[in-house]
Structure 1
Amino acid sequence: MLRRTAHALADAAREAILPHFRAFDLQTENKLEDEFDPVTIADRAAEQAMRDILAKDRPKDAILGEEFGHLKGQSGLTWVLDPIDGTRGFIAGTPTWGVLIAICDDSGPLYGIIDQPYIGERFEGGFGHATMLGPHGSKKLRTKVGFDLAQSIIFTTFPEIGTKIDQAAFHAVAKTCKLTRYGMDCYAYALLAAGQIDLVIEAGLQSYDIAAPIAVIQAAGGIVTDWTGGSAYRGGRVIAAASAQQHAEALEIMQQFDLD
């Protein structure tokens, strides 16, 4: 039932978003005064479409969404929604944004979906599932194993990640890796779960940015923590790794910096 509802949410979000992608008349607002944090009509329409389904099918569950905030529930379950993770990419026309849907309890994410509507790829993890569905059909998700940092591919969304200390810690790890790439938002986490890349390191995240990726990556065999090795469910500084070895090597480098 929960998986079926989650897929229904992803389907509804796709339908709400796609008419606006690469539209010349896309309505965009800036949520902040001192920096660019965009929101579009597609963000709001997608989250509202998902909330409408939950109001009908799961009225006792709580909801935490980026655009419309927190709705209290009674069941002990919370749906964590990011209707478009990567709105900057969305308005630029790159197909690297995604819809994030997670089911969480007090312990953290139980199940998640990363959906890329334009490409037609859907990654899910949890409740015994770790699969992706896309143009090549269905495939089991499995992270890479047996690689050290010198062989690793690392991603982050912004080169100017977090604070100056955060940037120094990230670049110290990246300097050790084989290849560093930028700008993928949630799609980088999907690539990690699919066995394409090895590490994603970010800072300044909210829970709706990371809850779904945590569930998908963990189901695929990877590990996601904060930069001290603790829980990342609440956001902040996050490191996702394909294997425990890469995770440990990266943390050892990062913990040489004052991350308090």
Structure 2
Amino acid sequence: MDRSFFAELSAVARAAVATELERGLVADNKSSAGFDPVTEADRAAERGLRALIEQHYPQHGIWGEEYGMSRPDAPIRWSLDPVDGTRALVCGLPSWAVLVGLLEDGHHIAGMIDLPALDECLVAVGGGTLRNGRTARSSGCDRLAEARLSTTDPNLFIGHEFEAFERVRTQCRLTRFGLDAMAYARIATGDLDLVVENGLKPHDYDALVAVVRGAGGHIGDWVGGDDFSGGRIVAAASRSLYDQAVEQLNA
């Protein structure tokens, strides 16, 4: 897979979102309980991504958040979250991202975290992660006491999961909230050291795996494995830090 193709995907999605921002966003609610926004920017970006993939790789499967699955039996599949952090987008915050993951036989082989509002794009192909064309590396932090932690919203943790997160949080140096996929980008660039989240769907994490790993970080589930299907994700600047976080989550 050529990195230049991810640059094309980035350009298409950015253009689609920019057009809809100029028109003025209207957020529809996808949820019957609470507020889960979707906008025409989400849909237009996914249509653009799908069209470009179909043009270049018509045999590949595509699973997008807004338009579902095509060719589900294809061994190679693209996973699309055209706007991760739609809440941030509608609030004029820069942390929203375009997420594109590439999987082969269920294994994450490439990924893109594109941050258009920051003109920053991280792409992992062939085992390494680049940030705007330059090598991205995690901080290598290996101690919870020195770690900079992030999660999107601590209110998403309930009961024992909140208690588990608190055991990690109270041992870290500092904690920042509300970054969505941008937090994982900051693991890859060495600016954050640890992310702990729950309730993620495949579109939320498929792009992140290769980017974090390609920058020298580690990403897995809450029990020390790599079963992401439960949506409970830990991303860390090093394997040692990941193991320490998992130990606290399961204490």
User: Does TM, normalized by the shorter one, top 0.5?
Assistant: yes
TM-score (norm 2): 0.95
The residue that corresponds to 2:125 in the other structure is 126
Of residues 234, 243, 251 in structure 2, which corresponds to 1:239? 234
Question: Once structures 1 and 2 are overlaid, which stretch shifts more, 184-193 or 4-13?
Answer: 4-13
Give me the whole-angstrom Cα distance separating, in 1, the residues matched to 2:230 and 2:210. 14
Q: Are the aligned partners of 2:140 and 2:216 in contact in 1 as well (CA < 8 Å)? A: no
TM-score (norm 1): 0.92
Tell me the CA shift for residue 151 of structure 1: 0.6
- The letter for the 1-side match of 2:146 is Q
Of residues 169, 187, 190 in structure 2, which corresponds to 1:192? 187
> Which 5+ residue runs of structure 2 have no aligned equivalent?
none
The residue that corresponds to 1:25 in the other structure is 24
Give me the whole-angstrom Cα distance separating, in 1, the residues matched to 2:218 and 2:127. 16
Q: Are the aligned partners of 1:142 and 1:220 in contact in 2 as well (CA < 8 Å)? A: yes
Give me the whole-angstrom Cα distance separating, in 2, the residues matched to 1:224 and 1:122. 20
In structure 2, relative to structure 1, the CA distance for the partners of 1:77 and 1:42 (3 Å cut) is same
Q: Are the aligned partners of 2:127 and 2:213 in contact in 1 as well (CA < 8 Å)? A: no
Tell me the CA shift for residue 234 of structure 1: 3.2
SS of equivalent residue, structure 1 residue 96: coil
The residue that corresponds to 2:13 in the other structure is 13
Alignment deviations for residues 208-252 of structure 1 (CA, whole Å, 9 cap, x no partner): 101111110000111111101222443510000001111111111
Q: How many residues align?
A: 251
Q: Are the aligned partners of 1:18 and 1:118 in contact in 2 as well (CA < 8 Å)? A: no
Q: 4+ runs of 1 displaced by more than 6 Å?
A: none
Of residues 167, 170, 183 in structure 2, which corresponds to 1:172? 167
- The letter for the 1-side match of 2:235 is A
- The letter for the 2-side match of 1:48 is R
Q: CA RMSD in A?
A: 1.6
Alignment deviations for residues 177-231 of structure 1 (CA, whole Å, 9 cap, x no partner): 0001100000000000001110000000001101111110000111111101222
> Which 5+ residue runs of structure 1 have no aligned equivalent?
none
The residue that corresponds to 1:111 in the other structure is 110
Tell me the CA shift for residue 78 of structure 1: 0.3
Tell me the CA shift for residue 75 of structure 1: 4.6
Of all paired residues, the percent bearing the same amino acid is 37
Q: 1:1-260 residue pairs with structure 2 within 5 A?
A: 1-21=1-21, 25-72=24-71, 75-133=74-132, 138-234=133-229, 236-256=231-251
Question: Once structures 1 and 2 are overlaid, which stretch shifts more, 67-76 or 10-19?
Answer: 67-76
Give me the whole-angstrom Cα distance separating, in 2, the residues matched to 1:52 and 1:80. 14
SS of equivalent residue, structure 1 residue 79: strand
- The letter for the 2-side match of 1:130 is T
SS of equivalent residue, structure 2 residue 198: strand
